[in-house]
Amino acid sequence: MFNYAYCVLFINVYSVVISILMVDRTTMTALNETHSPDLISWVDTANAPGTDFPIQNLPFAIFRRQESSEFFRGGVAIGDQIVDLLKAKETDLFGGLALSGIEACGGDSLNAFMALGKECWSALRLRLSQLLRNDISEEVKQLLAECLVPQDQVEFSLPCSIGDYTDFYTSIHHATTVGSLFRPDNPLLPNYKWVPIGYHGRASSIVVSGNDFARPSGQTKSADVEAPALGPCKRLDYELELGVYMGVGNDLGTPIDLDSAEDHAFGVSLLNDWSARDIQAWEYQPLGPFLSKNFISSVSPWIVTMEALAPFRANWTRDAEDPQPLAYLDSDSLRDAGAIDIKLEVYLETEQMREASSPAVQLAESNFIQSYWTLSQMIAHHTVTGCNLRTGDFLGTGTQSGASEGETGSMLELSSGGKKSFSLPNGEQRTFLADGDKVILKGWCSNSSARRIGFGEVSGTVIP
């Protein structure tokens, strides 16, 4: 006969043992049982082909039911459902580091959980994977089923409190294309191939997906007038990016070594760093972007953990004809598995499309595997001065464009700097975004030896 008390005791002891065994894992996260493509969940929608959230993913977010007075709290995606971690904690199905982790997810941000470190992150993810597998007992399934909330019935908040935001410029294809618009004879400045370029952005205006925003106003100057003027931006753009959330920070004055950099990264989300190109053109010299970037940046609600991305690691290479990175930005493990194969897409839905009930149209696709600089290089370089990154700090990758036509991550590239318009399937023309336009970014990972996982989506609509 099933003895629930003994089952819970065994589960808790097993979780502690697994947690201890996982302490010695390497920086480039190793594959483990949670990555097996054969795992099936008792949540049926997690097994559907093409779902972003199979049992092999288990990303984190902050949510509450729509139009409720509930507190925002932590949740994990499984199929079309969310595991309410605050309620799941009350089931007594968690022990050891997994219990410490789930207890830290009960507030309105994930900062406390993210500060606990990768052994705790991994222990909670493993425990959730075990509980959501199809071969778990019916009694446990029933307990956890009462903790599920349908995703289409919730609203999201930012997954964590973001203290600082740094935006990098890691795509050489984007940098070269944009540089050629302004410096045809010298599109790529000499420092680009030596140093991960970045600037400090505005953390207070980062919002979660679904927030509409007004077209920003600012100071611009046309070439044919003597003085600038204040007015609405006319060259509004999106930027297809990824964002990295820092987990455990470093002490001021203590750089993070390249090979331990990903120990500090909690996970990755989609990022749209909206840009006012005409404001940017007038303000950016000599210190770079300011008002052209500070009005809004949109992130997807889900953070896909670094551990979930382990099956999609790839070799990182640098063209032999290019300068090789300095020693603090290079290592054998980086070359071995420093790149990540993340496929990215941009969709546009215009007001006219919505009125005609037409689907959004794909504008571009790209892949983070083409990035000139990796996540670990971004972190190592950011801290080489002794800069202290803190839990919840956010790093943008910069616009991710590819080498081929159709892989451009911004309208600036699609329209050749606004010099030519492009046609949409319904006959509309665009150079930059119009009022009523909705931009949707999507991302996912897949290969022949792993289950496809996704990032959800990030969207935003421009209003007058």
Among 89, 123, 157, residue at a domain's last position = 157
293 is an annotated ligand-binding site residue? yes
Model confidence pLDDT, tens digit, residues 268-299: 999 999 999 999 999 988 888 999 999 999 99
pLDDT, residue 12, reads 46
pLDDT tens across 392-446, in order?
999 999 999 999 989 999 999 999 999 999 999 999 999 999 999 999 999 999 9
For the purposes of burial, counting CB atoms within 10 Å of the CB of 334, is it exposed (0-12), middle (13-18) or buried (19 or more)?
A: buried
- Average pLDDT of the chain is 93
Per-residue pLDDT band at 58 (split at 50, 70, 90): very high
Closest CA to 245 of 61, 72, 422: 61
- Give phi and psi for 414, each to the nearest 5: -60, -35
Q: What is the pLDDT of residues 156-181, one digit of tens each?
A: 999 999 999 999 999 999 999 999 88
Q: How far apart are CA 446 and CA 179, in angstroms?
A: 32
pLDDT, average across residues 92-110: 97
Quick one: pLDDT at residue 165? 98
Q: Same domain for 195 and 153?
A: no
Which of 318, 301, 320, 369 lies closest to 59 in space, CA to CA?
301
Are 339 and 456 in a shared domain?
Answer: yes
Q: Are residues 171 and 116 in the same domain?
A: no
Claim to verify: residue 307 and residue 401 sit in the same structural domain = yes
461 is annotated as contributing to ligand binding: no
Q: Are residues 292 and 416 in the same domain?
A: yes
Per DSSP bridges, beta strands 213-214 and 450-463 are: parallel
The span from the CA of 227 to the CA of 210, in Å, is: 37
Residue 5 or 258, more confident? 258
Specify the DSSP class assigned to residue 359: P
| Strand 394-396 relative to strand 240-246, pairing | antiparallel
The DSSP 8-state label assigned to residue 44 in this structure reads G
169 annotated ligand-binding residue: yes
Do 455 and 343 reside in the same domain of the chain?
Answer: yes
Q: What is the pLDDT of residue 424?
A: 97
Number of domains observed in the structure of the chain: 2
Is-contact 175 267, C-beta < 8 A? no
CATH number of the domain where residue 451 is located: 3.90.850.10
The reported pTM is 0.92
Q: Which residue has the tokens 């941000």?
A: 109
CB 171 within 8 A of CB 399: yes
> Could you tell me if 150 and 175 lie in one domain?
no
Query: Is residue 228 over pLDDT 90?
Result: yes
Where does the pLDDT of residue 30 fall: very low under 50, low under 70, confident under 90, or very high at 90 and above?
A: confident
Neighbouring CB atoms inside 10 A of 48's CB total 11
Domain boundary among 139, 157, 175: 157
pLDDT tens, residue by residue, 352-361: 999 999 999 9
28 pLDDT higher than 90: no
Residue 209 above 50 pLDDT?
A: yes
Residue 338 to residue 205: CA distance in whole angstroms:
30
Residues 339 and 337: their CA atoms lie apart, in Å, by: 6
pLDDT at 24: 36
Q: Of 102, 153, 161, which is closest to residue 128 (Cα–Cα)?
A: 102
Q: Is 280 annotated as a binding residue?
A: yes
Residue 36: closest CA among 433, 311, 438? 311
Round to whole Å and give the CA distance between 197 and 381: 9
Is 272 in the same domain as 342? Answer: yes
**Binding site annotation covers 239?**
yes
321 is in an annotated binding site: no
- 437 annotated ligand-binding residue: no
Of 135, 157, 179, which closes a domain? 157
CATH code (residue 102)? 2.30.30.230
Task: Identify any residues that bridge with 219 across adjacent strands, giving them in sequence order.
Answer: 230
Q: Are residues 33 and 79 in the same domain?
A: yes
Question: What's the pLDDT tens digit per position in 80-90?
Answer: 999 999 999 99
327 and 295, same structural domain?
A: yes
Secondary structure E strands in 110-200: 148-150, 154-157, 165-168, 198-200
Q: Smallest Cα–Cα separation from 381: which of 326, 309, 324, 335?
A: 326
Full domain range(s) for residue 125: 4-157
Query: Do 137 and 173 belong together in one domain?
Result: no
* Residue 173 is a catalytic residue: no
Closest CA to 453 of 356, 326, 312: 312
Domain identity same for 230 and 336? yes
From CA 240, how far away is CA 76, in angstroms rounded? 25
Q: Is 335 annotated in some ligand binding site?
A: no
Catalytic residue among 35, 174, 264, 381, which?
174
